[in-house]
């Protein structure tokens, strides 16, 4: 949003020609910031409840740095995914408070402290090789102010490890289940819980796994009810979707009338 346009809008509110509700509605569709190589949507949080997320893959370090810094200047929380070490270092030189999770390949900046969710999202992964995708999901959900609980390395090759965590599985409001190889874990979890499951296939596996295609197809063909699927290695998508579900669950619980007392 350019400064003259914003000033004009604020002046209309100040002199009474525009009420606050109408001004907010106009802000939802205000123009983006054009920086030649990107058009930065500063109003995404107002429309969608979370600021625009930077997808770092195939961007130069300087591009990631510039977009991150401009989003941070608004005072919002900022998240970038698929960020390599060189780009992360460039961001941190410009915005020293930014945090780089090397395993998840995320750069995050928290400038607004908001209450965490009451219920939690379970982040489940089959094996250690799936951790980068699971961590991307966890960071995403936590940046959206959702509590998470990790259950890592509980794949079906050692089913007793999963069964030992049944209580935690059943306490979660929603589960993100990350697996490669044959992609069986979401179906197994789906037979143990009533919560919705976001299945995330990973590109982990030997040749016939076809870089995650085998896991993707297995999850799409799951016999368990309540399993939805995001794309291969899309930890961000899984974490974001789970956060949205958990937000709705929190609003629903808050709206329920209190139980009568005897």
Q: Could you read off the pLDDT tens digit of each residue along the chain, which spans 262 residues?
A: 444 466 777 888 888 888 888 887 766 656 677 778 888 887 787 778 788 899 999 999 999 999 999 888 878 899 999 999 999 999 999 999 999 999 999 999 998 888 788 889 999 999 999 999 999 999 999 999 999 999 999 999 889 999 888 998 999 999 999 999 999 999 999 999 999 999 999 999 999 999 999 999 999 999 999 899 999 999 999 999 999 999 887 776 666 666 566 5
Q: In the chain, which residues fall in CATH 3.40.50.1970?
A: 120-252
Q: Is 224 exposed, middle or buried (0-12, 13-18, 19+ CB in 10 A)?
A: middle
Instruction: Please state which CATH number belongs to domain 120-252.
Output: 3.40.50.1970
Q: What pTM, to 2 d.p., does this model score? A: 0.84
| Backbone phi and psi for residue 30, each to the nearest 5 degrees, phi listed first | -65, 155
End-to-end CA distance of the chain: 56
Its sign, for the CA torsion 170, 173, 178, 179, is positive
């Amino acid at each position: 949003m350019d400064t003259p346009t914003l000033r004009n809008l604020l002046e209309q509110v100040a002199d009474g020609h525009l009420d606050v509700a109408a001004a907010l509605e106009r802000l939802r569709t205000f123009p983006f910031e054009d920086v030649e190589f990107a058009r930065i949507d500063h109003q995404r949080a107002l429309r969608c409840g979370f600021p625009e997320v930077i997808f770092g893959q195939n961007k130069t370090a300087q591009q990631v740095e510039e977009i991150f810094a401009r989003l941070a200047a608004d005072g919002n929380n900022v998240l970038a995914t698929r960020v390599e070490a060189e780009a992360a270092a460039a961001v941190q030189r410009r915005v020293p408070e930014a945090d780089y999770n090397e395993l998840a390949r995320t750069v995050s900046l928290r400038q607004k402290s908001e209450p965490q969710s009451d219920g939690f999202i379970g982040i489940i992964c089959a094996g250690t090789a799936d951790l980068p995708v699971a961590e991307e999901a966890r960071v995403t959900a936590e940046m959206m102010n959702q509590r998470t609980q990790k259950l890592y390395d509980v794949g079906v090759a050692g089913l007793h490890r999963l069964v030992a965590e049944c209580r935690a599985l059943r306490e979660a409001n929603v589960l993100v289940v990350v697996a490669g190889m044959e992609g069986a874990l979401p179906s197994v979890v789906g037979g143990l819980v009533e919560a919705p499951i976001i299945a995330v296939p990973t590109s982990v596996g030997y040749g016939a796994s076809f870089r995650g295609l085998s896991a993707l197809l297995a999850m799409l063909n799951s016999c368990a009810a309540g399993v939805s699927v995001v794309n291969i290695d899309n930890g961000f998508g899984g974490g974001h979707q789970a956060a949205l579900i958990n937000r709705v669950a929190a609003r629903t619980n808050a709206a329920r009338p209190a139980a009568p007392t005897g």
